[in-house]
């Protein structure tokens, strides 16, 4: 067997992994195949649990276990507006009509039937998902957009599950540490996907602190290990994160653009072709602020001035459009979550190659290869 080079941190010791590389849970992207490959490569693969029923989640966990005996994680989003989801009574009919009026313009372009009536909101899946994770004693529970709180963390700890949570401010990092968490993911504003806020902020840029500024602040504020997220796609990023005091990284966009990810071809292709300024922070795709590739959907919706429905109501209202964008390969109407690191990504490797390359590059930077412009006396 090939001997792997060593790059260990206390995050590796905590999670029982070889390399301080976490692959983020990503809805529709991080399925059992991707997760098991990352874990087999020495990192921590994290399964996306969003919008899966308890039975689907149990099945996906079984598939991961069939493919790897290494530690892995399962991710759930625990924001206040999903626990429980915003009820239909709080979604006025005239708002829903105004949303569908704009969406119907996109439907016309895609030859889809117009939608007249109200469309349903998200089901309340969090309680059954939590029960499955507790029953299954998964190695790591990964939380996005929320604070699980002391009692839930204690329940997981009693079953031997480590708990990590992603935050975007120092204040939230302190709050999740106070709940007894094992590690914190500091999510910078460059990150793809949803901003990890407990509550939706009034404007997009609230709490979108850059990774370079956020990570050392979080490292100074908490005692538990910190993983840096947002804008990291190669070994230079890992080395920089370690220099900032982080004990590892969590990468999303880089793992989305791999052969094993479940992301549709149209999404992978758009990421490969995108430059670093191709993304936008918007709530028009799901109801919560998230970073995605700017396209006709995000631009035209924003220009229309139409209201935005609550979290996931908005995503479900536009679900037929997102599906058509995939089947018709029309990237301009897709929900193409991605981070600014898309500008660093131009190939579609396998997961093992990504992990090997990131570790090799980081080791080179950390052991000898300072840029030529730097001289040390």
Give the binding site for ligand FMN (CB under 6 A).
24-27, 29, 48, 50, 75, 77, 144, 166, 187, 190-194, 229-232, 250-254, 256, 337-339, 341
In the complex, what is the shortest distance from the CB of residue 3 to ligand FMN, in angstroms, rounded to a whole number?
A: 28
The residue sitting closest to ligand FMN, measured at its beta carbon, is 252
In the complex, what is the shortest distance from the CB of residue 230 to ligand FMN, in angstroms, rounded to a whole number?
A: 4
Contacts 24+ apart (CB under 8 A), 293-297: 293/331, 293/336, 293/337, 293/338, 293/342, 295/331, 295/332, 295/333, 295/334, 295/336, 296/106, 296/332, 296/333, 297/106, 297/321, 297/325, 297/332, 297/333, 297/334, 297/335
CA distance 102 to 95: 11
* For ligand FMN, the closer CB: 102 or 208: 208
In the complex, what is the shortest distance from the CB of residue 196 to ligand FMN, in angstroms, rounded to a whole number?
A: 7
* For ligand FMN, the closer CB: 229 or 312: 229
* For ligand FMN, the closer CB: 24 or 314: 24
In the complex, what is the shortest distance from the CB of residue 212 to ligand FMN, in angstroms, rounded to a whole number?
A: 13
* For ligand FMN, the closer CB: 73 or 107: 73
Q: What contacts 123, CB < 8 A, 6 or more positions away? A: 85
* For ligand FMN, the closer CB: 134 or 262: 262
In the complex, what is the shortest distance from the CB of residue 166 to ligand FMN, in angstroms, rounded to a whole number?
A: 5
In the complex, what is the shortest distance from the CB of residue 195 to ligand FMN, in angstroms, rounded to a whole number?
A: 9
Q: What is the CA radius of gyration of the chain?
A: 20
* For ligand FMN, the closer CB: 230 or 310: 230
In this structure, the strands spanning 248-251 and 21-23 are: parallel
Q: Give strand pairing partners of 166.
A: 185
Contact in structure between 147 and 198 (CB atoms under 8 Å):
yes
């Amino acid at each position: 067997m090939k001997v792997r080079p060593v790059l260990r941190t206390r995050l590796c010791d905590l999670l029982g992994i070889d390399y301080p590389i976490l692959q983020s849970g990503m809805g529709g992207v991080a399925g059992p195949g991707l997760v098991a490959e990352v874990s087999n490569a020495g990192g921590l693969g994290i399964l996306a649990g969003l919008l899966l029923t308890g039975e689907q989640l149990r099945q996906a966990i079984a598939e991961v276990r069939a493919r790897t005996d290494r530690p892995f994680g399962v991710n759930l989003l625990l924001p206040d507006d999903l626990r429980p989801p915003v009820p239909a009574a709080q979604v006025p009919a005239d708002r829903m009509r105004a949303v569908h009026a704009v969406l119907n313009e996109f439907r016309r372009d895609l030859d889809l039937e117009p939608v007249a009536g109200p469309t349903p909101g998200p089901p309340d899946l969090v309680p059954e998902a939590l029960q499955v994770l507790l029953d299954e004693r998964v190695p790591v529970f990964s939380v996005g957009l929320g604070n699980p709180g002391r009692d839930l963390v204690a329940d997981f700890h009693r079953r031997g599950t480590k708990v990590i949570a992603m935050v975007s401010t120092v204040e939230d990092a302190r709050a999740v540490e106070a709940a007894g968490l094992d590690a914190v993911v500091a999510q910078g504003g460059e990150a793809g996907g949803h901003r990890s806020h407990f509550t939706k902020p009034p404007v997009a840029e609230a709490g979108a602190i850059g990774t370079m500024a956020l990570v050392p602040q979080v490292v100074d504020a908490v005692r538990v290990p910190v993983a840096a997220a947002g804008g990291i796609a190669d070994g230079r990023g890992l080395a920089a994160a370690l220099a900032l005091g982080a004990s590892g990284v969590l990468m999303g966009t880089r793992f989305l653009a791999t052969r094993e990810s479940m992301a549709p071809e149209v999404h992978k292709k758009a990421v490969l072709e995108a430059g670093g300024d191709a993304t936008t922070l918007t709530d028009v795709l799901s109801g919560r602020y998230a970073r995605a590739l700017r396209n006709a959907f995000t631009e035209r919706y924003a220009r229309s001035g139409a209201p935005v429905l609550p979290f996931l109501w908005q995503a479900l209202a536009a679900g037929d459009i997102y599906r058509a964008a995939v089947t018709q390969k029309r990237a301009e109407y897709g929900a193409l979550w991605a981070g600014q690191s898309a500008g660093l990504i131009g190939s579609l490797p396998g997961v093992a190659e990504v992990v090997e390359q990131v570790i090799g590059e980081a080791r080179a930077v950390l052991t000898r290869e300072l840029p030529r412009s730097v001289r040390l006396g």
